Amino acid sequence: MAILVVSAMSSGLAGTALLRLLESDVCRDYYLRIDSTLIAPDDSIAEMKCKGAAVQASLSGLLSVGTIAATVPALFAALIFLVVSRVMDKRLLLLLNVTGTICENLFFTTVLYCYNTLDLRFLWLNGLFAFLGGGSVVFGAVVQAMLAESVPIQYLTSFYLFAQAAVTATSLLSSFLGLYLMQQNLWLPVGLGAVLLTLVIPLLTFFRVDEASMDQFPDHGEIPSNGHSPKDVSLKEACTSAWERFSQSGASMKSMRLFMAVMFAHVIGDSFRSILSLWMSKRYGWTIREVGYLLLAGAVFQVLLLPVLPWVLGFKRFHLDREGSLRLVRRSIIFSIAGSFMIGCSWNVVVIGISLIVCTFGVGFADGLHSCLAAGLEKRDISQVFICMSIVRMLGGALGAFVTGKLYGFSAGRENIWLMGLPMWVCTIMFILAALLSRRLQ
């Protein structure tokens, strides 16, 4: 839990400041070519001067290419960790991941700071550090696997929900703090966020898996195929053994394909959130700041809802078994279907507010699905399957963001009010597909 909270606090503090610094550097490069008189003697430039279409297009292009450039190394690293996750200590996996993230942030910050020396396109190399630890793809999967191995299975769903509430609340508070510190100095939240991220490393040394909770998982042994004890094997033997186990687990991985299909369809459906701010601003003529306040209110409601979500959705107890977690998954998808459809049909601010509230009741999907998976796995398979799920989530998110972005671009150029709802209704169809697939889960 502490690892998740510290990581969320770090990203919440530094995220907005880093984006503003990047926008400032892109803006400065643009006006150096157009009108350098707008640049102050200290190389600063008024923020409102950076809101023009040309600057924002350059910023969007820089970020888009950077995202694509980071995806391939992260996917490659995730596939490697998928093979070795059974024989490597999860704390070591997480240590490599956090180290790679620290190096990534340091490189990103260095390029921004040395704007007079380094071309901003060097930021595209930033994703190479994902080779070291797999980025967010591996981080989320490994942390969830560590929690699944440490928390009794009947409490896992509730613990995931409490953890999500704590992370969301931490992100909100740290974002407010970051915005306040930005008024003093843009580099202040960036530095503080970097220091907080390094605290994850000593926290890993205090993490211990509760052996009693491990007895809940069936286990067929951890002896490598060569017959040696785990302590006697070399790295080469360990990797060979891991590959053999991964190959032998093909049947069990195939049984997870339906879970992965449900996750894939749901993530594509949930991709409407990637355009929600722009969509609401365009649809209702609101400023981005006004949209931000509305979404912030939704995030506060989510924090309050998560700890009591099972009770609100009609469960008689907070501690859900595998069947209860599966029902949570199905009910969450129903709320996502209703919420996304209502957003597409929203006529005024009251309806959009109700729609966002309905969508919030669907936030238990991922936690319930991971709990269902963990309850049916051997302990040695948890990390492997969770990494697979994280890869599926990443690919689905990338595809969904691309599709909804294209649909938004198509609908935004037309004045037809019903066409504006097209991206949301396509996402609703994907939620319906996820609901149909979830009915086949056992």
What average pLDDT does range 53-60 have in this prediction?
71
Q: Report pLDDT for 219.
A: 46
What average pLDDT does range 425-432 have in this prediction?
93
Q: How confident is the model at residue 222 (pLDDT cuts 50, 70, 90)?
A: very low
Q: Is the pTM of this model over 0.75?
A: no
Name which residue leads in pLDDT, 283 or 393.
Answer: 393
Give the number of other CB atoms < 10 A from CB of residue 336.
28
- For residue 141 the two structure tokens come to 């999967």
Question: With contact defined as beta carbons under 8 Å apart, do 281 and 335 qualify?
Answer: no
Mean pLDDT of the chain: 77
Asked whether the predicted pLDDT for residue 369 surpasses 80, the reply is: yes
Q: Report pLDDT for 381.
A: 73
Q: Report pLDDT for 266.
A: 94
Q: Report pLDDT for 236.
A: 53
- For residue 219 the two structure tokens come to 């286990």
pLDDT in tens, 356-366: 899 999 888 88
pLDDT in tens, 308-335: 887 877 776 666 777 888 888 999 999 9
Question: With contact defined as beta carbons under 8 Å apart, do 66 and 123 qualify?
Answer: yes
What average pLDDT does range 57-84 have in this prediction?
76
Q: Report pLDDT for 387.
A: 82
- For residue 332 the two structure tokens come to 């969450």
CA–CA separation, 342 vs 74, rounded Å? Answer: 35
Q: Report pLDDT for 341.
A: 92
pLDDT in tens, 112-147: 888 788 888 888 888 788 887 777 778 877 777 777
Asked whether the predicted pLDDT for residue 218 surpasses 60, the reply is: no
Share of the chain above pLDDT 90, in %: 9
Q: Report pLDDT for 217.
A: 47
What average pLDDT does range 31-48 have in this prediction?
73
pLDDT in tens, 248-284: 444 455 567 888 899 999 999 998 887 787 678 777 7
Q: Distance between terminal CA atoms of the chain?
A: 29
Packing angle, helices 2-34 and 135-150, rounded to 10: 170
Share of the chain above pLDDT 70, in %: 80
* Closest C-alpha among 211, 335, 166 to residue 266: 335
Q: Give the helix ranges, DSSP H, for 249-287.
A: 250-255, 257-269, 276-284
DSSP string over 175-200 = HHHHHHHHHH-THHHHHHHHHHHHTH
CA–CA separation, 103 vs 95, rounded Å? Answer: 12
* Closest C-alpha among 360, 208, 352 to residue 282: 352
Give the number of other CB atoms < 10 A from CB of residue 288.
11
Q: Report pLDDT for 240.
A: 56
CA distances from 136 to 142, 163, 353, 393 (A): 10, 17, 31, 11
User: Whose structure tokens read 């053999």?
Assistant: 244
Q: How confident is the model at residue 427 (pLDDT cuts 50, 70, 90)?
A: very high
Asked whether the predicted pLDDT for residue 180 surpasses 60, the reply is: yes
Q: Report pLDDT for 289.
A: 60
CA–CA separation, 346 vs 352, rounded Å? Answer: 5
Asked whether the predicted pLDDT for residue 224 surpasses 50, the reply is: no
DSSP string over 393-419 = HHHHHHHHHHHHHHHHHHHHTS--TTG
